[in-house]
Amino acid sequence: MNKNDESIMLILSSPSGAGKTTLTKKIQQKYQNFKISVSHTTRKPRSNEIDGVDYFFVDFKKFEELIKQNKFYEHAKIFDNYYGTSKQAVKEIIKNKSDIIFDIDWQGTQQLSRFKELNLVKVFILPPNKKELKERLTQRNQDKKNIINQRLSSYESDILHWHDYDFIVINDNLENCFKQIEKIIETNKNKISLN
């Protein structure tokens, strides 16, 4: 892979509930060339999730086999479940000359950053504050109370990793936040076309 004629590989990371999934969908709607890197996970699908679209849902045994076979660019265990980015899935997207969005956490970002051939643009999204984060997690009503508390307690350690990113964006207003991400995408697209 030649880095200069490469797809943009946009990493979006955030503490859970900061709006990352909504922003990922907005990017895909605006930029047809962006494809979401669909991660493997061992967590159970939510009622609205589709295997192969939202995640590749696999059991622990299968996931651990894939780790042993070195099939992931990155993987991490979060809240008792594994998540991982398959090398094969990324290669398929690149082969089609598409840009990629990685919806991953700071652990995944650190691992992906080791692969120098990847043209990564790393964006860390933060909620305005912890109180707002709690309201969002409670309102989205997808998780049990103990999961919400786990996500809130991991917020403190998540935000310590902001320095691993190229850009920090505060999501206090979805449209403003999206405009900032658009600007980051456009700037990086222009850099690639100049090379």
pLDDT in tens, 162-184: 889 999 998 888 899 999 999 99
What would the mean pLDDT of 118-147 be, rounded to a whole number? Answer: 74
pLDDT in tens, 31-67: 999 998 999 999 999 888 999 988 999 999 999 999 9
C-alpha to C-alpha distance for 165 and 144, rounded to whole angstroms: 30
Binned at pLDDT 50, 70 and 90, residue 73 comes out as very high
What would the mean pLDDT of 132-136 be, rounded to a whole number? Answer: 66
Residue 165: predicted pLDDT: 94
Binned at pLDDT 50, 70 and 90, residue 160 comes out as confident
pLDDT at 140 over 90: no
Which residues pair with residue 100 across a beta bridge?
9, 35
Helix (H, G, I), strand (E, B), or coil: what is residue 103? strand
Which residues pair with residue 82 across a beta bridge?
77
In the chain, the domains with their CATH numbers are 3-194 (3.40.50.300)
| Residue 84 tokens, joined | 């991982």
pLDDT over 90, % of the chain: 49
Angle at 148 between CA 112 and CA 82, to 5 degrees: 35
pLDDT in tens, 79-110: 799 999 999 999 999 898 899 999 888 888 99
